Amino acid sequence: MHDDIEQIARRGLAAVVESDVAPADLDPAADMADTYGLTSLNKVLFLTSVCEEAEVSLAHFTEQDVARMRTLGDVTEALGKRQGTRV
């Protein structure tokens, strides 16, 4: 399932970033704001969409948890730990 979450996250990030980058070309270790120009609003939209598709409740994450999700790898790891916990 972890691979599924990564693919969901890649598609979600590619959909909200300003640059024309293919999901497969996203670097999971790159800072999403610095590298891809992800804004705070787009981060919320991205996480909401990814959580919905991955069936993970966004309510499981605190403001600090979200702030620590700086890379695609961070998002994939955090959602992977909570997959199947939709409220």
Domains (ranges, CATH) in the chain? 2-82 (1.10.1200.10)
Write down the residue that tokens 């790898």 correspond to: 73
What's residue 18's pLDDT?
81
Q: What confidence tier does 1 reach under pLDDT thresholds 50, 70, 90?
A: very low
Which tokens hold the place of 74?
């961070």
Cβ(23)–Cβ(11) below 8 Å:
yes
Asked if the model's pLDDT at residue 29 lies above 70, the reply is: yes
Which tokens hold the place of 4?
């599924």
Write down the residue that tokens 């996203």 correspond to: 26
Write down the residue that tokens 């994939």 correspond to: 76
What's residue 6's pLDDT?
94
Which tokens hold the place of 70?
């700086």
Provide the whole-model pTM: 0.87
Looking at the DSSP bridge assignments, the partners of residue 31 are: 71
